[in-house]
Structure 1
Amino acid sequence: MVDWFVVGSLALLVVGVVGSVVPLVPGTLSSLVGVYLYWWTSGYTDPGPLLLAALTVVGVLALVADYFGGAVSARAGGASMVTTTLAAIVGIALFFVVGPLGIVLGVAGTVFVVEFYRHRDPERSLRAALYAAVGVLASTVVQLLVTVTMLVALVAVILL
């Protein structure tokens, strides 16, 4: 007999992996919901408390990296808070026009243009833009690694 809650848990974890690389699909959040749905289904026994805590902490850290990775890295590259806010808005808007590439190009391009307008220093503007682009890409890689790890961990719990 098929336990539909287990199937749902695994489906949420797969959505989490897909969502880690597809913008606007809640990757890590879906994975966390899948883990907790399975935990609830198991009568709060599987995964054990230590693994559940580890998956939760790693998932929350990945969420933070997702939401703030680009902004933090742009700030580390010297961009202002106004610049990073504008970059986020443009990146999301360009996603709907050119897809995932729009996020990276929108964030990096906006950071470069606004920082160049503020300081008239192309080198400084380019550095901030590169930091922002790397931050966006790095947060995606972190999310992918975390969601795949969560999926593998839960499959191992189910099979063992």
Structure 2
Amino acid sequence: MEILGWSLVIILFLVGIAGAVYPVLPGALAIYFGFFVYGWFFSFAEYNVWFWIIQTLIVIVLFVADYVVGAYGTKKFGGTKLTVILSTIGLIVGPFVIPAFGLILGPLIGAILGELISGKDFQQSLKAAWGTMLGLFTSMVVKIILQVAMIVIFFLWIFVF
């Protein structure tokens, strides 16, 4: 059972990290659920209230930062809400439609279409698309850093504290 427990925890952590890049996966919630899986298979005794407060605050910061950083890049370069929506759809659908490059081309095409539909010229659409891409990739980096921090804190809490 110990191998199964650790396998599930590690799989959830990997799914969580992959979720930082691919938004269809649950990301931070998978990592958070991994903490419960560890508790169910082994023990909740290693956790205390501070562990849960720290991890929950990181998850909240993750969700807020994900939205704020992504939207900021779009707004900073003159994008609209439609641009944010279509670039997010492109991020989700792109890898299925264009397997090798969909993660980049999907949101880029979605952002350009969002701006063109909003009545902007092609040059302004490219500028807003660049801001959207910058925001998305910055958001991914922030998510990866915070999710790795969650995992490191977990291992420190289990094996050090």
For the superposition of Structure 1 and Structure 2, which TM-score range results when normalised by the shorter chain?
0.7 to 0.9
The structure-2 alpha-carbon separation of the partners of 1:120 and 1:22, relative to structure 1 and needing over 3 Å to count, comes to closer
Superimposed CA distance per residue, residues 97-128 of structure 1 (whole angstroms, 9 cap, x where no aligned partner): 22474233222233234424612261x32321
Task: Give the corresponding residue for 1:25.
Answer: 25
Task: Give the corresponding residue for 1:42.
Answer: 43
Q: Secondary structure of the equivalent of 1:119?
A: coil
Shift of 1:5: 4.3
Task: Tell which deviates more after alignment, 85-94 or 26-35.
Answer: 85-94
CA contact 2:51–2:157 (8 Å) conserved in 1: no
Task: Give the corresponding residue for 2:70.
Answer: 70
Task: Give the corresponding residue for 2:95.
Answer: 95
Shift of 1:27: 1.8
Superimposed CA distance per residue, residues 77-98 of structure 1 (whole angstroms, 9 cap, x where no aligned partner): 2211122222222332222022
The structure-2 alpha-carbon separation of the partners of 1:53 and 1:77, relative to structure 1 and needing over 3 Å to count, comes to same
Tell me the distance in 1 between the aligned counterparts of 2:48 and 2:27: 23
Tell me the distance in 2 between the aligned counterparts of 1:120 and 1:3: 57
Structure 1 residue ranges without an equivalent (≥5): none
Tell me the distance in 2 between the aligned counterparts of 1:3 and 1:110: 43
Task: Give the corresponding residue for 1:119.
Answer: 120
Amino acid at match of 1:151: I
Tell me the distance in 2 between the aligned counterparts of 1:100 and 1:64: 29
% of aligned pairs identical?
28
Question: TM-score under structure 1 normalisation?
Answer: 0.77
Q: Secondary structure of the equivalent of 2:2?
A: coil
Amino acid at match of 2:8: G
Shift of 1:132: 0.5
Amino acid at match of 1:74: T
Shift of 1:141: 1.1
Tell me the distance in 2 between the aligned counterparts of 1:3 and 1:89: 38
Superimposed CA distance per residue, residues 12-39 of structure 1 (whole angstroms, 9 cap, x where no aligned partner): 2233223333452222110111124435
Structure 2 residue ranges without an equivalent (≥5): none
How many equivalent residue pairs?
158
Tell me the distance in 1 between the aligned counterparts of 2:132 and 2:111: 7
CA contact 1:83–1:115 (8 Å) conserved in 2: yes
The structure-2 alpha-carbon separation of the partners of 1:80 and 1:46, relative to structure 1 and needing over 3 Å to count, comes to same
Root mean square deviation, CA, Å: 2.8
The structure-2 alpha-carbon separation of the partners of 1:12 and 1:92, relative to structure 1 and needing over 3 Å to count, comes to closer
Tell me the distance in 2 between the aligned counterparts of 1:2 and 1:121: 57
Question: TM-score under structure 2 normalisation?
Answer: 0.77
